[in-house]
């Protein structure tokens, strides 16, 4: 009888990180100067943001996204045990209207799970990232780590 492999899902996303300082009783938040700088996406040739003030997210949050991926990714007929590296990484652009475009598989030795991840991502409703209170197209990177310890 087939038993599903455990999968550990981790969301990696480059976002703005603040450094909180104390200055004579006042709290100051200093942000990286590289925040909210647009870049040309090499695949779509569109301007996107990799670092934003408020990252793009699906409705329900990262926990909901991870749960959805855990529930819906099928490992039937996928040779995870033969894979050299259990990491699978995909990326996509969350546009200012919340739509998904520019999907890409960065790493997937299974040649199937990455496609499933992107199909699942496209079924969700997304909230775009923002910079200076303005919605911006954001490059979102999603990585799964498949736990092969029970094989």
pLDDT tens-digit profile of 77-90? 776 655 566 789 99
Quick one: pLDDT at residue 98?
Answer: 98
Crossing angle for the helix pair 113-123 and 61-72, to the nearest 10 degrees: 130
Distance separating the N- and C-terminal Cα atoms of the chain: 13
pLDDT tens-digit profile of 46-61? 999 999 999 999 999 9
- Residue 134 inside a domain? The answer is yes
DSSP 18-38: EEEEEETTEEEEEE-TTTT-E
Quick one: pLDDT at residue 79?
Answer: 66
Cα separations in angstroms, 21 against 29, 64, 96: 6, 33, 32
Quick one: pLDDT at residue 33?
Answer: 47
Alpha helices in 46-99 (DSSP H): 61-72
Residue position matching structure tokens 């799970």: 113
Quick one: pLDDT at residue 7?
Answer: 47
128 neighbors 56 (Cβ within 8 angstroms): yes
Total structural domains within the chain: 1
87 neighbors 107 (Cβ within 8 angstroms): yes
- Residue 1 inside a domain? The answer is no
Overall pTM surpassing 0.95 (yes/no): no
CA angle, corner 121, sides to 111 and 80, nearest 5?
30
What domain range is 127 assigned to?
7-146
Q: Spell out the per-residue pLDDT of the chain, length 151, in tens.
A: 444 444 444 444 433 333 333 444 444 444 444 579 999 999 999 999 999 999 999 999 999 999 999 999 887 777 665 556 678 999 999 999 999 999 999 999 888 899 999 999 999 999 999 999 999 999 999 998 776 555 4
- Residue 2 inside a domain? The answer is no
- Residue 151 inside a domain? The answer is no
């Amino acid at each position: 009888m087939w038993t599903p492999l455990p999968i550990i899902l981790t969301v990696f996303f480059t976002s703005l990180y603040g450094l909180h300082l104390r200055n004579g009783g006042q709290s100051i938040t200093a942000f990286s100067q590289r925040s909210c700088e647009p870049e040309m996406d090499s695949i779509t040739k569109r301007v996107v943001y990799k670092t934003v003030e408020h990252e793009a997210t699906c409705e329900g949050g990262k926990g909901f996204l991870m749960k959805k991926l855990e529930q819906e990714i099928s490992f039937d007929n996928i040779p995870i045990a033969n894979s050299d590296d259990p990491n699978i990484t995909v990326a996509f652009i969350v546009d200012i209207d919340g739509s998904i475009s520019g999907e890409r598989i960065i790493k997937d030795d299974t040649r199937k799970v990455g496609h499933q991840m992107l199909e699942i991502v496209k079924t969700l409703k997304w909230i775009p990232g923002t910079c200076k209170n303005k919605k911006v197209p954001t490059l979102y990177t999603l990585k799964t780590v498949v736990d092969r310890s029970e094989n």
